[in-house]
Amino acid sequence: MAGLLLETLRGTNGETRPVWFMRQAGRYLPEYRALRAEKGGFLALVYDAEAAAEITLQPIRRFGFDGAILFSDILIVPYAMGQDLQFLVGEGPHLSPRLVDTALSSLAAVPSRLDPIYETVARVKAGIGSDRTLLGFAGSPWTVATYMVAGEGSRDQHDTRALAYRDPAAMQAIIDAIVAVTVDYLAGQIAAGAEAVQLFDSWAGSLAPAEFERWVIAPNAAIVSQLRARCPGVPIIGFPKGSGEKLPAYARETKVDVLGLDETVDPTWAHRNLPEGLPVQGNLDPLLLLAGGEELERQTRRILDAFADRPHVFNLGHGIGQTTPIDNVSTALATVRGWRRP
């Protein structure tokens, strides 16, 4: 029998809730920081399949999360599409040349840059145990495009939103290229052992409604339908961060199997307004994990109670912060594990 997480992603509303945390493998863990110092940087870790598999499993060993998310990054896709990728300490990622001043057609793709990631997936799968679920992932096209165009992270995705208005055909070509690579990449992760996948759309919230339809809903719908045709029965989690009142349309039109919610969404509103029976994932504010105390417990329970009548995977509203006290993670997990569906 599949584990509790996979059952829930498939639509079962069990008596207890599975739990994993976005960015659960990372800098708040001393065992991660030790390995990172030894291997000399983030990208070196991602491309060392043995180390990446070890890091993927670290939070499972420490906390017993129900799911392990592949240790990698959404920017591996632009790297495979031919951009150069660097993670500079304290500065975040850099991609070059940036598409704000270079044509997509001038990039020379290097698809073999995806292969070591599949090896990581296979290694994790061999070590994870059948009651835990291995999650693969990719960035959604809009979010990946914002980094490809600007060459780095940006506060309001200015360059990419401007390009989309100025030259929608060029923007469409970038999005279509990302869709094609992403479908292959996720199918490759599934072939290597991933049992479910998540699409991270961190910057979906920066778009006006018509642009949201074109650059968020349409490309995610394309990925879902193509991936489902190639890999039937593998749950797809969509996480369009910051989408608020557009979430019901996103869920209906992309046909994702599971909807990830950020912490700005009221769980009671979400339960009332989302399609009946649609599994949801989320949505504790990661800052509550920093703060701890009674409020952490109270809000954890409030989310669990609000989603009692639909399948629910407990998670954060976005990634765990690097200064999170480890004891607060344990406290939140104890609350989730002690909860029973009324």
Task: Give the residue ranges of the annotated binding site.
Answer: 23-27, 73, 147, 202, 318
Binds ligand CP3 (CB under 6 A): choice among 4, 5, 53, 69: 69
Q: Which stretch binds ligand CP3 (CB under 6 A): 20-28, 120-128, 189-197, 302-310?
A: 20-28
Binds ligand CP3 (CB under 6 A): choice among 10, 27, 39, 98: 27
β strands within 123-180, DSSP E: 133-139
Considering the complex, state which of residue 273 and residue 330 has its C-beta at the smaller distance from ligand CP3: 330
73 binds ligand CP3 (CB under 6 A): yes
Count of beta carbons in the 10 Å neighbourhood of residue 27: 15
Q: Are 197 and 237 in contact (CB under 8 A)?
A: yes
User: What is the distance between the terminal CA atoms of the chain, rounded to a whole angstrom?
Assistant: 24
201 tagged catalytic: no
* CB burial readout 289-306, b (16+ within 10 A) else e: bbebeeebeebbeebbeb
26 binds ligand CP3 (CB under 6 A): yes
Q: How many residues bind ligand CP3 (CB under 6 A)?
A: 23
Distance of CA 113 to the CA centre of its chain: 20
* Smallest distance, ligand CP3 to C-beta of residue 188, A: 16
Catalytic residue among 17, 36, 123, 132: 36
329 binds ligand CP3 (CB under 6 A): no
Write out the two tokens for 152.
Answer: 């780095």
262 binds ligand CP3 (CB under 6 A): no
Binds ligand CP3 (CB under 6 A): choice among 8, 189, 202, 324: 202
271 binds ligand CP3 (CB under 6 A): no
Fill in the per-residue mask, 93 to 132: x = in contact with ligand CP3 (CB under 6 A), - = not in contact.
x---------------------------------------
47 binds ligand CP3 (CB under 6 A): no
Considering the complex, state which of residue 57 and residue 163 has its C-beta at the smaller distance from ligand CP3: 57
Count of beta carbons in the 10 Å neighbourhood of residue 284: 25
Considering the complex, state which of residue 59 and residue 311 has its C-beta at the smaller distance from ligand CP3: 59
Q: Which stretch binds ligand CP3 (CB under 6 A): 19-27, 77-85, 112-120, 178-186?
A: 19-27
Exposed, middle or buried, 54 (CB in 10 Å: 0-12/13-18/19+)?
buried
Write out the two tokens for 254.
Answer: 């992309």
- Residue entry with tokens 């995705």: 157
Distance of CA 154 to the CA centre of its chain: 19
Count of beta carbons in the 10 Å neighbourhood of residue 21: 26
Write out the two tokens for 53.
Answer: 């598999």
319 binds ligand CP3 (CB under 6 A): yes
CA distance 241 to 237: 12
309 tagged catalytic: no
CA distance 22 to 47: 20
Catalytic residue among 147, 161, 201, 257: 147
Considering the complex, state which of residue 54 and residue 306 has its C-beta at the smaller distance from ligand CP3: 54
Considering the complex, state which of residue 152 and residue 211 has its C-beta at the smaller distance from ligand CP3: 152
Q: Which stretch binds ligand CP3 (CB under 6 A): 73-81, 116-124, 229-237, 293-301?
A: 73-81
| DSSP calls for 189-209 | HHHHT-SEEEEEETTGGGS-H
Q: Which stretch binds ligand CP3 (CB under 6 A): 69-77, 101-109, 115-123, 161-169?
A: 69-77
* CB burial readout 133-152, b (16+ within 10 A) else e: bbbbbbbbbbbbbbbbbbbb
Q: What are phi and psi of 93, to 5 degrees?
A: -80, 150
Q: Are 119 and 70 in contact (CB under 8 A)?
A: no
147 tagged catalytic: yes
Q: For binding to ligand CP3 (CB under 6 A), which residues are involved?
A: 22-27, 36, 42, 69, 71-75, 87, 92-93, 137, 139, 153, 200, 202, 319
Tell me which residues are annotated as active site: 23, 27, 36, 73, 147
